[in-house]
């Protein structure tokens, strides 16, 4: 993992890393010099009482601390610059990769948890490189320098003090294994907690409408308690290294002082070398402890880094074919040929579906909830790939053209309008980034949105808030319709485009859409059958199959047709198709009526 991160980022930051290395070496050298100068200080000033040595020894001390201070500052600035760039780089890289993944990934992954996990994991890349660089260039070099000084001053004492190494290494390995096991759980729990908080704030209207405050507070409280327990456990395990290392270091220092005291008192050796040795030993304790803790701390960073790369290594399940070409769509004729598709292999949603949406005409798709209407639209945009059969646009198999070129030829209005952070003008311009202000305003007029937009505090430049929170549902829908209009695409997909509008607004938008649909291949999904009466072709789906097709007149001519029964139910309820229609049509579908429905299909064809 570390090799991969360095290979991907090391070259771009080579000069900054060079600055860090030089500064680290200066810090290490200044630290080792501070220990070495103790010997002449004790011997020359205190033992031999030479006053002339005070000046150069004090100057040496001052110089060492100045070098150490400025070098430490340069090192910190360089590491912060590298770390901040890495965070920004991986955030952009992750988002670019997410945009390449298919809709299926986002259906299986909670957006709030994904955002929280990204925010927490990206720091692992930065920490991993910083820890490695500091440990190698500062702590390791400092430790080597100080150990070298200790060996130079007294090889026997050095050997005895280094005996604490094996038990310290054993303690590090043991603790690292324990931390590795529980750290990933902690990251996942914290991401779940952050994601749940984000989702609760985004859905605050539903939370309050259904008085869910206490229940959500209870659930988030449980997650917060669990996260606290995991964090406490990590702290208890990782901090076990401190008493172990302190105890071992204390034994080493105590033994050195006792032995050196014996040599000074009994053997009469000068104390300078001993003081230098003890100073080096004490100074070596901090880098040795940091190196010991590095493996434990790095294990946390590695968990985060691995989770980032697990995401980056995900291959899109549905990419462009190796020989994919740019789609050349002019008229926009759409043809479904024996299409079978299911979100899971054993439960097909569409079964052997074949029909043609004529170029420049309006084709309406109707059917009960769960019949596969929205799935049909998703397949046309290649959010998913068909299991069997093919979909062609202007005679081109959409699986053999690039997704980007295909979708650039399609304007889409979903039944759940979504607006992005920014102004109303920005959200309409997302339909075509090159659109002028006049084109945006003309599209808003066609979508019956211009009047309410101009009544906003800042007109077209009014911020919409999170997911258009400052606008009503109908207003959001009209902005999304304007976004589709400004795209100027040959194919227009309307998935319940007027579902969020009141009757008056719906009438105005339908009138506007009538002009917009002229000359475009339009596929309309509607529960309100009144909106598809004038369609050139009506496709009736039942359990993912083509049940009937024809015009409104031909389908209504058979009072036993599914379409006619939908009309009667809507006439009684005054509503769009509801879930109980499916049960109604199933119970009423006798063998005789099924036969009549098939005849209707043949007559219409």
Give the model confidence (pLDDT) of 503-520 as tens digits. 776 777 777 677 778 788
Which among 488, 516, 537 is the end of a domain? 488
Map residue 317 onto helix, strand or coil.
coil
Distance CA 58, CA 43 (A): 14
Q: Report which DSSP code applies to 43.
A: I
Q: Give the HSE-up count for residue 74: Cα atoms under 13 Å, Cβ half-sphere.
A: 20
With residue 36 as reference, give the H or E element that holds it: helix 14-36
Question: Does 584 score more than 50 pLDDT?
Answer: no
Mean pLDDT of 476-502: 84
The structure's pTM equals 0.70
Map residue 545 onto helix, strand or coil.
strand
Mean pLDDT of 195-213: 74
Q: Please report, for residues 67, 294, 345, 412, 476, the alpha-carbon distance to residue 486 in angstroms, rounded to integers and kept in the order given.
A: 63, 56, 38, 11, 16
Distance CA 210, CA 203 (A): 11
177 and 64 both lie in a single domain: yes
Which long-range contacts link 257-264 to residues 24+ away (Cβ below 8 Å)?
259/157, 259/160, 260/154, 260/157
Map residue 151 onto helix, strand or coil.
helix
Closest alpha carbon to 244 in 165, 179, 139: 165
Closest alpha carbon to 389 in 344, 345, 354: 354
Q: Are 171 and 242 in contact (CB under 8 A)?
A: no
Q: Report which DSSP code applies to 458.
A: T
Would you state the structure tokens that stand for residue 585, as one six-digit string? 């049509």
Question: Does 415 score more than 60 pLDDT?
Answer: yes
- Residue 452, burial from CB neighbour count under 10 angstroms (0-12, 13-18, 19+): middle
Supply the Cα-derived Rg of the chain in whole angstroms: 36
Return the minimum-mean-pLDDT range out of 133-142, 237-246, 575-584.
Answer: 575-584
Question: Does 157 score more than 80 pLDDT?
Answer: no
Q: Are 601 and 546 in contact (CB under 8 A)?
A: yes
Closest alpha carbon to 185 in 238, 248, 229: 229
Whether 110 is covered by a domain: the verdict is: yes
Mean pLDDT of 573-588: 41
Mean pLDDT of 433-455: 90
Distance CA 485, CA 522 (A): 12
Residues spanned by the domain of 463 = 417-488
Q: Are 524 and 362 in contact (CB under 8 A)?
A: yes
Q: What is the CATH number of the domain that holds 423?
A: 3.40.50.300
The pLDDT of residue 262: 67
Q: Which residue has the higher pLDDT, 543 or 318?
A: 543
Which among 263, 279, 312 is the end of a domain? 312
Whether 575 is covered by a domain: the verdict is: no
Distance CA 193, CA 120 (A): 12
Mean pLDDT of 487-497: 87
Q: What band does 330 get if pLDDT is binned at 50, 70 and 90?
A: confident
Whether 401 is covered by a domain: the verdict is: no
Residue 108: count of CB within 10 angstroms of its CB: 7
Whether 542 is covered by a domain: the verdict is: no
Give the model confidence (pLDDT) of 375-395 as tens digits. 999 999 998 889 999 999 999
Q: What band does 582 get if pLDDT is binned at 50, 70 and 90?
A: very low
Give the model confidence (pLDDT) of 218-256 as tens digits. 888 888 888 888 778 777 776 666 677 667 767 776 776
Structurally, the chain folds into a number of domains equal to 2
Question: Does 600 score more than 60 pLDDT?
Answer: no
Mean pLDDT of 141-150: 77
The pLDDT of residue 2: 80
Closest alpha carbon to 93 in 116, 125, 133: 125
Question: Does 406 score more than 60 pLDDT?
Answer: yes
Map residue 112 onto helix, strand or coil.
helix
307 and 439 both lie in a single domain: no
The pLDDT of residue 575: 42
Distance CA 57, CA 38 (A): 9
Question: Does 185 score more than 60 pLDDT?
Answer: yes
Residue 163: count of CB within 10 angstroms of its CB: 12
Q: What band does 270 get if pLDDT is binned at 50, 70 and 90?
A: low
The pLDDT of residue 603: 40
104 and 221 both lie in a single domain: yes
Whether 378 is covered by a domain: the verdict is: no
Distance CA 238, CA 234 (A): 6
Contacts with 502 (C-beta within 8 Å, 6 or more apart), sequence order: 474
Distance CA 558, CA 597 (A): 8
Q: What band does 398 get if pLDDT is binned at 50, 70 and 90?
A: very high
Whether 189 is covered by a domain: the verdict is: yes
Mean pLDDT of 1-26: 85
Closest alpha carbon to 440 in 432, 472, 417, 448: 432
Q: What is the CATH number of the domain that holds 216?
A: 1.20.1560.10
Which among 267, 284, 312 is the end of a domain? 312
The pLDDT of residue 581: 40
Whether 592 is covered by a domain: the verdict is: no
Whether 302 is covered by a domain: the verdict is: yes
Q: Please report, for residues 90, 196, 242, 604, the alpha-carbon distance to residue 247 in angstroms, rounded to integers and kept in the order given.
A: 41, 44, 8, 90
Mean pLDDT of 396-422: 88
């Amino acid at each position: 993992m570390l090799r991969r991160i360095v290979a991907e980022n090391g070259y771009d930051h080579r000069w900054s890393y060079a600055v860090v290395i030089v500064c680290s070496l200066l810090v290490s050298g200044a630290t080792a010099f501070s220990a070495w100068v103790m010997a002449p200080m004790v011997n020359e000033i205190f033992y031999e009482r030479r006053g002339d040595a005070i000046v150069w020894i004090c100057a040496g001390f001052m110089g060492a601390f100045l070098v150490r201070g400025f070098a430490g500052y340069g090192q910190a600035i360089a590491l912060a610059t590298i770390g901040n760039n890495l965070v920004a780089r991986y955030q952009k890289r992750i988002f670019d990769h997410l945009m390449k993944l298919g809709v299926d990934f986002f259906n299986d992954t909670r957006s709030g948890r994904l955002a929280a996990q990204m925010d927490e994991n990206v720091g692992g890349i930065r920490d991993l490189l910083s820890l490695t660089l500091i440990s190698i260039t500062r702590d390791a070099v400092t430790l080597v320098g100080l150990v070298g000084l200790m060996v130079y001053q007294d090889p026997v004492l050095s050997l005895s003090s280094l005996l604490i190494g094996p038990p310290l290494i054993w303690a590090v390995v043991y603790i690292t294994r324990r931390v590795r096991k529980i750290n990933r759980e902690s990251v996942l729990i914290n991401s779940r907690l952050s994601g749940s908080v984000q989702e609760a704030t985004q859905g605050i209207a539903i939370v309050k409408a259904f008085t869910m405050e206490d229940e959500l507070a209870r659930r988030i409280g449980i997650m917060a308690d669990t996260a606290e327990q995991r964090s406490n456990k990590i702290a208890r395990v990782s901090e076990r290294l401190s008493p172990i290392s302190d105890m071992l270091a204390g034994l080493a220092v105590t033994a050195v002082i006792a032995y050196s005291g014996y040599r000074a008192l009994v053997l009469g050796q000068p104390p300078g070398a001993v003081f230098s040795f003890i100073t080096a030993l004490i100074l070596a304790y901090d880098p040795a402890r940091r190196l010991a803790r590095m493996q434990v701390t790095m294990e946390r960073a590695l968990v985060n880094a691995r989770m980032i790369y697990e995401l980056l290594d995900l291959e899109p399940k549905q990419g462009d074919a190796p020989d994919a070409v740019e789609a050349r769509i002019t008229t926009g004729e759409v043809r479904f040929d024996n299409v079978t598709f299911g979100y899971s292999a054993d439960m097909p949603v569409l079964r052997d579906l074949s029909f043609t949406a004529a170029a420049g005409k309006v084709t309406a798709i109707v059917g009960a909830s769960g019949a596969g209407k929205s799935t049909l639209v998703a397949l046309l945009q290649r959010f998913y790939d068909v299991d069997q059969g093919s979909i062609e646009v202007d005679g081109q198999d959409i699986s053999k053209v690039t997704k980007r070129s295909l979708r650039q030829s399609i304007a889409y209005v979903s039944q759940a309008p979504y607006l992005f952070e920014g102004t109303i003008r920005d959200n309409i311009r997302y339909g075509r980034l090159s659109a002028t202000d006049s084109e945006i305003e003309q599209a808003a007029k066609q979508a019956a949105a211009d009047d309410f937009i101009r009544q906003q505090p800042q007109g077209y430049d009014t911020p919409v808030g999170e997911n258009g929170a400052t606008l009503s549902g109908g207003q959001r829908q009209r902005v999304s319709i304007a976004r589709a209009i400004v795209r100027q695409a040959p194919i227009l997909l309307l998935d319940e485009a007027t579902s969020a509008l009141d009757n008056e607004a719906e009438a105005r938008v339908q009138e506007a859409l009538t002009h917009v649909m002229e000359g475009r291949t339009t596929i309309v999904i509607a529960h309100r059958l009144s909106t598809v009466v004038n369609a050139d072709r009506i496709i009736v789906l039942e359990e993912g199959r083509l049940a009937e097709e024809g015009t409104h007149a031909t389908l209504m001519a058979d009072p036993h047709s599914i379409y006619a029964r939908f009309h009667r139910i809507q006439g009684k309820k005054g509503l769009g198709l509801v879930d109980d229609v499916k049960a109604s049509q199933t119970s009423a579908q006798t063998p005789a009526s099924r036969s009549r429905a098939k005849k209707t299909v043949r007559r219409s064809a």
